[in-house]
Structure 1
Amino acid sequence: MEAVGIQNAKHLSLKRLSVVAGKDDVDGELLAALNILANIAPPLLSVAACLHFNEVEFDLEPDDIDEILRDDSVPHPITGEIIREASKYTEFYYAVSEGISDN
């Protein structure tokens, strides 16, 4: 992973992962592979997301991610106000799961 610049990466975007996989773009094959890596036991990758809203970035909890995927809304992390069309303000990415290392 060090050779492709993701050794200490917190956010592994789909674009970055497509480059690592030697692909020009994200395709079904890459998404299927990522799905496997995120769903095996123990998972190697975890799905994560951050909300970019009003020029502030908030890391989202798994329940918040599920809510965005389910109905495209999420409560604002500070005010609790419901943010509609939350996917417009959300960056989804992968992260190496806790406890996984290349040592």
Structure 2
Amino acid sequence: MTPSMAWIALVAAAGLDVVWALTMKRADGFRHLGWTLASLAALAGLVLLLGRSLRVLPVGTAYAVWTGLGAAGTVLLGAALFGETLTLARLAWIALIVLGVIGLRFQEV
């Protein structure tokens, strides 16, 4: 796997992390079978993609990018889909997370 493909896999894993968190919310403590199965599928996919990216990328960088993008995406979609509070301060902190991810992308392999 090339470094570029590893980064694509890592960003896709972060996207599935967002899907996993949102489907967990919809599963409502595993009370809804369809959402529970979707959650487990997203979890399996994100672990697979994260594992593939780790063949090339340093684990510290990959973990920081995966959790950072996953957290940022979940906050934004949580606000859009569930009406969760999104203040200017929260947006500023999310922007810092994204800037950190961009910095790591150009610092590493």
TM-score (norm 2): 0.23
Q: Give the helix-richer structure, 1 or 2.
A: 2
